């Protein structure tokens, strides 16, 4: 028998149990804190199930319950990853026509079935739990209809006792791809379906606890806690409290629905010190274990205080996402993410944009993370649906769906489900009512309800926009505890938010530093500002991982990760799902390294370097520096270590301390840097003793270098014709192309230094964050400039040959973009001093870069440089790198972004040398410069859609640049900050090229 609840917002759940907090009972003889698989009351139904797929609900035959199955599918999984239907990646638009509460007739269906065994015991009942089914499902036990439920990322529980027989039983689950709930699940994700989380049965006595809520009231003044457990039960309950190690503290019984404990001098829970007490609730027939964190959350003077301290959220947004299993995430997957986050100084997570499986929050409790727990609500598609023809980035339609009367109940339902499931989790600091759905009466009502049920946490909701003409919700100041925005520029926060009259609330960036592709470049700016104001309590980077679907290996051995469009979706959002800090397989991007060092626990500032005075700022909120960390320093002169030492540092949390280090006083030399490196003293769950937590590098003296060419060798020959200036010395001959204004040939010791004529280079393969400006780069064809040489002359002096020239670079239709005044000196040693004054025409975009490009033989693969390394670095993205001498193989210098783009450059360089074992070319400059050495051309990087399609150029391509623009995070964030734009109208490109032997 088929039912039709899935287009009815009044029928969200049929025959499900009342909402309750998550717990798994054990029988009284077992340890209730063991993993749930160890409970004798827990039967996991994961595994291979029978499966049948229909492309439309209409095709499901009346007698579907008895139709034979031919296929099997793993549970949990997404059926799109098992050969049925196709994955679809969509961000801000609805994947179905906007017609709430209706969904298309072509509504794919998966029917799941299996046999399982239970032995029924008198006095006990069986509860079937689904932790997540996308998008809705009808449940049948032994071919009898049991019920219906929806909300993809939430638990649905059914009492199935009366449908069961002792021994073998069958379960059939009909899952639909779309339902009315789809209108509230327009999250930026792969739209995939199925039973996506664990399915299990728990066996419970008829006399039992149905739910309980733990409230810890921590009196920070008296330093004591009143721990109150409200229990709904139809049987007596004994409550025992233990400390973390399992020592019994007190015991009481539940009286009139309450058990109350007092803990004097409690150990508090925080992300830094996640101390958990253990509470055991025992009835005659079962035991429930609950871990309890004592912590106090409050708002005071516009700050979020945890245990009395204004904390900072060093956060990240995390989706459930796996390249192979899609939306199904194992506990091991979660742990992998969380340990990586710990290693990278992340202390806060927003579960964007739906609640994670219950075990995720338990792991956050244990490891220590502050969590914004977000309800499974997003109606982003409302914007496009309400504008249809006139959407120019206007957001005014966002509350279209949230304003519909019939969606008030579903909105409430989703929020209520979340809070009643998770209200005992200490890691949850904020309840978030969802994402990008606008503000309406429905949200106002839900917010008031949250406060009435749980006054111990804060209510968060970023989407404060209302729909014009709708019934106005009350002022959100009454309902929302923090002001939360996404992607606001530091400038806006400082000038608009902090100065806004009447606004007293704390501020959170629930999304910032969009990490798509090469990026983000703007982290440090935000943190300088956050540390300056207690009201700014931090931010959550968007986002943790790239969501690529693993399509197997390409011939070159690389994994093929699919993004939007790779499954021929009728509608998709391209590579917007490839916007994380880790690759789909969890290898960190350089962006994650950047996050790590911007989120570093200790910051060092120079106060008076000549006297060895430095300020150490402990950015931890609760941990004294020496509890965890020790410091060593190394001083380098021109990249060579000249001094090392260790420091005994004691700096209380959230405190700055001036420290004089006599060994660092009075140091003289050129290009002197000190690097303070902080390492962990002890082993932790996520790292070994000695693990590096962060560093700061500070310049003691910058280099003032004067490059003096070697003039000792004077044998020089000059030959000139209309096209070429030919110069030779004892060990080299160079041909200078008068029509290009650059060398066409350079041979040293009979080895060709360049395989193609040198080029002026004003282009980079656009990064995702260059999305806005790149159109202008292409408009002026910075990628293929046309040269005009007005004059090019050579003359020989005693020591050198001088070429002077005047040229321009441009493109059809416009005035030339660059005007060049060249001065090139060639010395008997083969050295070339290259100088060009460059003038940039008006009305041009800021530039990606300007420099020279050399195509060298691919044998030139050994790269040595003195600059910011060893990972890629840019003017605004170099916090994870430091200035040093690094050696690398060119093949290792590519940061292989899934969608190819500019990568692997090095900022702040004094020299780079590239060699092949016989010959080498050294390039240096009196001003710090940027370089890039790659096997791939920028044209190839710009052209190809996926990294596995990239073909090597066959050359070692060396780009040396006067400058490159910064990286920023414009793919969703603010425009690149002015200071990081390369927009000088006049500059000097100047390099000394020295050929030699490597």
| Interacting residues toward ligand GAL by CB under 6 A | 91, 188, 352-353, 435-436, 486, 511, 542, 576, 579, 972
- Between CA 350 and CA 341 the distance in angstroms is 13
Binder of residue 972, out of ligand GAL, Mg ion, none (CB less than 5 to 8 A by kind): ligand GAL
- Between CA 969 and CA 768 the distance in angstroms is 8
The distance in angstroms from the start CA to the end CA of the chain is: 80
Nearer to Mg ion, 436 or 902 (CB): 436
Distance of CA 565 to the CA centre of its chain: 22
Closest chain position to Mg ion (CB): 380
* Distances from the Cα of 489 to the Cα of 494, 499, 506, 808, 977, angstroms: 9, 15, 17, 37, 9
Q: Give the residue carrying structure tokens 């370097």.
A: 609
436 binds Mg ion (CB under 5 A): yes
- Between CA 623 and CA 618 the distance in angstroms is 8
Nearer to ligand GAL, 320 or 621 (CB): 320
Min dist. Cβ of residue 566 to ligand GAL (A): 18
Q: DSSP assignment, residue 715? A: -
Residue 551 burial (C-beta neighbours within 10 Å; 0-12, 13-18, 19+): middle
Min dist. Cβ of residue 92 to ligand GAL (A): 7
Beta bridge partners of 539: 314, 509
- Between CA 376 and CA 153 the distance in angstroms is 6
Inter-residue contact 310 to 330 (CB < 8 Å): no
Nearer to Mg ion, 188 or 296 (CB): 188
188 binds Mg ion (CB under 5 A): yes
511 binds Mg ion (CB under 5 A): no
- Between CA 428 and CA 417 the distance in angstroms is 15
Binder of residue 579, out of ligand GAL, Mg ion, none (CB less than 5 to 8 A by kind): ligand GAL
Does 436 participate in catalysis according to the annotation? yes
Nearer to ligand GAL, 444 or 511 (CB): 511
Nearer to Mg ion, 85 or 188 (CB): 188
Binder of residue 535, out of Mg ion, ligand GAL, none (CB less than 5 to 8 A by kind): none
Min dist. Cβ of residue 133 to ligand GAL (A): 22
Binder of residue 576, out of Mg ion, ligand GAL, none (CB less than 5 to 8 A by kind): ligand GAL
Q: Which stretch binds Mg ion (CB under 5 A): 146-154, 436-444, 532-540, 626-634?
A: 436-444
DSSP per position, 475-529: PTTTT-SSEEEES--HHHIIIIITT-TT--S-EEEEEES---SS----HHHHHHH
User: How many alpha carbons lie under 13 Å from residue 312 in its C-beta half-sphere?
Assistant: 25
Q: Which stretch binds Mg ion (CB under 5 A): 374-382, 478-486, 696-704, 958-966?
A: 374-382
Min dist. Cβ of residue 378 to ligand GAL (A): 7
Nearer to Mg ion, 59 or 573 (CB): 573
Min dist. Cβ of residue 49 to ligand GAL (A): 31
Dihedral angle over CA of 271, 275, 280, 281, nearest 10: -40
380 binds Mg ion (CB under 5 A): yes
Of 157, 185, 511, 594, the catalytic one is 511
- By C-alpha distance, which of 641, 562, 621 is closest to 948? 562
Min dist. Cβ of residue 695 to ligand GAL (A): 30
Closest chain position to ligand GAL (CB): 188
* Distances from the Cα of 611 to the Cα of 656, 665, 860, angstroms: 18, 4, 44
Binder of residue 466, out of Mg ion, ligand GAL, none (CB less than 5 to 8 A by kind): none
SS3 content of the chain, % helix, strand, coil (to 5): 15, 40, 45
Nearer to ligand GAL, 279 or 371 (CB): 371
Structure tokens at 773: 């400006």
Nearer to ligand GAL, 486 or 959 (CB): 486
Find all residues with CB under 8 Å of 791, minimum gap 6, and list them: 804, 805, 806
- Between CA 513 and CA 973 the distance in angstroms is 7
Min dist. Cβ of residue 393 to ligand GAL (A): 12
Nearer to ligand GAL, 203 or 437 (CB): 437
- Between CA 309 and CA 296 the distance in angstroms is 10
Nearer to ligand GAL, 353 or 849 (CB): 353
- Between CA 329 and CA 327 the distance in angstroms is 6
- Between CA 403 and CA 470 the distance in angstroms is 7
Inter-residue contact 313 to 307 (CB < 8 Å): no
Does 511 participate in catalysis according to the annotation? yes
Min dist. Cβ of residue 577 to ligand GAL (A): 8
189 binds Mg ion (CB under 5 A): no
Residues in the interface with Mg ion (CB under 5 A) total 3
Distance of CA 130 to the CA centre of its chain: 29
Min dist. Cβ of residue 378 to Mg ion (A): 6
Nearer to ligand GAL, 435 or 994 (CB): 435
Min dist. Cβ of residue 57 to ligand GAL (A): 29
- Between CA 126 and CA 966 the distance in angstroms is 60
Q: What does residue 893 show for φ and ψ, rounded to 5 degrees?
A: -95, 0
Inter-residue contact 107 to 177 (CB < 8 Å): yes
Min dist. Cβ of residue 511 to ligand GAL (A): 6
Of 157, 286, 408, 436, the catalytic one is 436
Inter-residue contact 781 to 774 (CB < 8 Å): no
Q: Which stretch binds Mg ion (CB under 5 A): 48-56, 65-73, 180-188, 419-427?
A: 180-188
- Over its C-alpha atoms, the chain yields an Rg (Å, rounded) of 32
Which are the catalytic amino acids?
A: 436, 511
Binding stretches for Mg ion (CB under 5 A): 188, 380, 436
């Amino acid at each position: 028998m088929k039912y039709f609840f899935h287009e009815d917002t009044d029928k969200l759940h049929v025959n499900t149990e009342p909402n309750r907090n998550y717990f798994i009972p054990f029988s009284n003889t077992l340890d209730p804190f063991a993993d749930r698989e160890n409970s004798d009351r827990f039967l996991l139904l994961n595994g291979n199930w029978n499966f049948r797929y229909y492309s439309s609900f209409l095709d499901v035959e009346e007698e579907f319950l008895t139709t034979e199955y031919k296929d099997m599918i793993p549970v949990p999984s997404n059926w799109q990853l098992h050969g049925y239907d196709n994955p679809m990646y969509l961000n801000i638009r609805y994947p179905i026509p906007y017609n709430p509460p209706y969904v298309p007739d072509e509504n794919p269906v998966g029917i799941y079935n299996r046999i399982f065994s239970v032995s029924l015991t008198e006095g006990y009942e069986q509860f079937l739990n689904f932790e997540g089914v996308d998008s809705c499902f009808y449940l049948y036990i032994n071919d009898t209809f049991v019920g219906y439920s929806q909300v993809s990322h939430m638990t649905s529980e059914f009492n199935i006792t009366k449908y069961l027989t002792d021994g073998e039983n069958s379960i059939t689950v009909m899952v639909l791809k779309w339902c009315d709930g789809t209108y509230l699940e327009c999250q930026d994700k792969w739209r995939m379906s199925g039973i996506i989380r664990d399915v299990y049965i728990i066996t419970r006595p008829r006399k039992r606890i149905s739910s309980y809520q733990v409230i810890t009231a921590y009196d920070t003044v008296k330093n004591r806690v009143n721990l109150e457990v409200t229990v709904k039960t139809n049987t007596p309950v004994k409550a025992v409290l233990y400390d973390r190690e399992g020592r019994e503290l007190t015991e009481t019984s539940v009286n009139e629905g309450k058990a109350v404990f007092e803990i004097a001098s409690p150990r508090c829970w925080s992300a830094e010190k996640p101390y958990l007490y253990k509470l055991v609730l025992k009835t005659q027939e079962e035991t429930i274990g609950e871990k309890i964190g004592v912590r106090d959350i409050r708002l005071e003077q516009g700050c979020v205080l945890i245990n009395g301290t204004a904390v900072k959220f060093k956060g990240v947004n995390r989706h459930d996402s796996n390249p192979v299993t899609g939306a199904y995430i194992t506990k091991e997957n979660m742990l992998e993410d969380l340990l990586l986050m710990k290693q990278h100084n992340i202390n806060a997570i927003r579960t964007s944009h739906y609640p994670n499986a219950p075990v995720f929050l338990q792991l956050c409790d244990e490891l220590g993370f502050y969590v914004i727990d977000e309800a499974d609500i997003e109606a982003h598609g409302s914007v496009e649906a309400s504008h249809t023809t006139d959407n120019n980035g206007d957001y005014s339609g966002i509350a279209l769906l949230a304003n519909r009367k019939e969606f008030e109940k579903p909105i409430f339902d989703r929020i209520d489900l979340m809070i009643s499931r998770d209200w005992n989790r200490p890691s949850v600091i904020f309840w978030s009512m969802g994402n990008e759905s606008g503000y309406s009466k429905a949200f106002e009502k839900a917010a008031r309800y949250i406060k009435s049920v749980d006054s111990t946490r804060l209510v968060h909701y970023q989407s404060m926009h209302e729909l014009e003409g709708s019934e106005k919700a009350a002022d959100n100041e009454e309902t929302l505890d923090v002001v939360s925005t996404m992607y606001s520029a530091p400038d806006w926060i400082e000038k608009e938010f902090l100065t806004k009259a009447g606004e007293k609330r704390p501020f959170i960036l629930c999304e910032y530093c969009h990490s798509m592709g090469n990026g983000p470049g703007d982290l440090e700016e935000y943190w300088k500002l956050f540390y300056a104001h207690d009201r700014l309590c931090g931010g959550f980077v968007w986002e943790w991982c790239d969501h690529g679907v693993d399509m197997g290996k390409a011939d070159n051995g690389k994994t093929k990760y699919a993004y939007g469009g790779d499954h021929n979706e009728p509608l998709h959002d391209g590579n917007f799902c490839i916007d994380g800090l880790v690759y789909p397989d969890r290898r960190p991007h350089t962006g994650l390294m950047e996050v790590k060092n911007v989120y570093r626990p200790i910051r060092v500032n120079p106060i008076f370097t000549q006297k060895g005075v430095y300020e150490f700022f402990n950015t931890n909120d609760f941990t004294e520096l020496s509890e965890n960390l020790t410091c060593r320093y190394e001083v380098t002169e021109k990249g060579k270590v000249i001094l090392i030492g260790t420091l005994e540092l004691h700096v209380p949390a959230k405190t700055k301390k001036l420290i004089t280090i006599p060994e660092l006083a009075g140091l003289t030399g050129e290009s002197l840097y000190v690097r303070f490196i902080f390492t962990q003293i002890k082993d932790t769950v996520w790292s070994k003793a000695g693990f590096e937590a962060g560093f700061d590098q500070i310049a003691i003296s910058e280099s003032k270098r004067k490059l003096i060419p070697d003039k000792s060798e004077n044998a020089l020959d000059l030959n000139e014709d209309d096209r070429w200036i030919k110069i030779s010395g004892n060990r080299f001959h160079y041909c200078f192309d008068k029509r290009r204004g650059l060398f066409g040939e350079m041979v040293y010791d009979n080895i060709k230094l360049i395989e193609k004529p040198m080029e002026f280079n004003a282009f980079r393969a656009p990064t995702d964050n260059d999305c806005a400006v790149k159109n202008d780069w292409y408009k002026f064809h910075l990628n293929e400039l046309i040269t005009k040489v007005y004059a090019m002359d050579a003359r020989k002096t005693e020591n050198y040959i001088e070429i002077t020239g005047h040229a321009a670079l441009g493109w059809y239709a416009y005035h030339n973009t660059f005007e060049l005044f060249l001065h090139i000196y060639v010395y008997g040693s083969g050295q070339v001093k290259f100088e060009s004054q460059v003038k940039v025409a008006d009305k041009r975009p800021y530039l990606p870069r300007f420099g020279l490009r050399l195509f060298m033989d691919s044998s030139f693969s050994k790269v040595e440089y003195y600059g910011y390394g060893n990972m890629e670095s840019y003017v605004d993205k170099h916090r994870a790198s430091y200035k040093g001498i690094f050696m690398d193989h060119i093949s290792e210098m590519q940061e292989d972004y899934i969608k190819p783009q500019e990568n692997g450059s090095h900022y702040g360089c004094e020299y780079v040398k590239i060699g092949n074992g016989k010959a080498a070319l050294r390039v240096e400059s009196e001003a710090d410069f940027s370089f890039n050495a790659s096997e791939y051309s920028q044209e190839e990087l710009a052209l190809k859609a996926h990294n596995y399609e990239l073909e090597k150029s066959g050359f070692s391509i060396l780009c040396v640049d006067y400058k490159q623009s910064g990286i920023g995070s414009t793919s969703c964030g603010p425009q690149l900050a002015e200071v990081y734009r390369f927009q000088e109208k006049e500059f000097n490109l100047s390099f000394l090229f020295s050929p030699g032997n490597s």
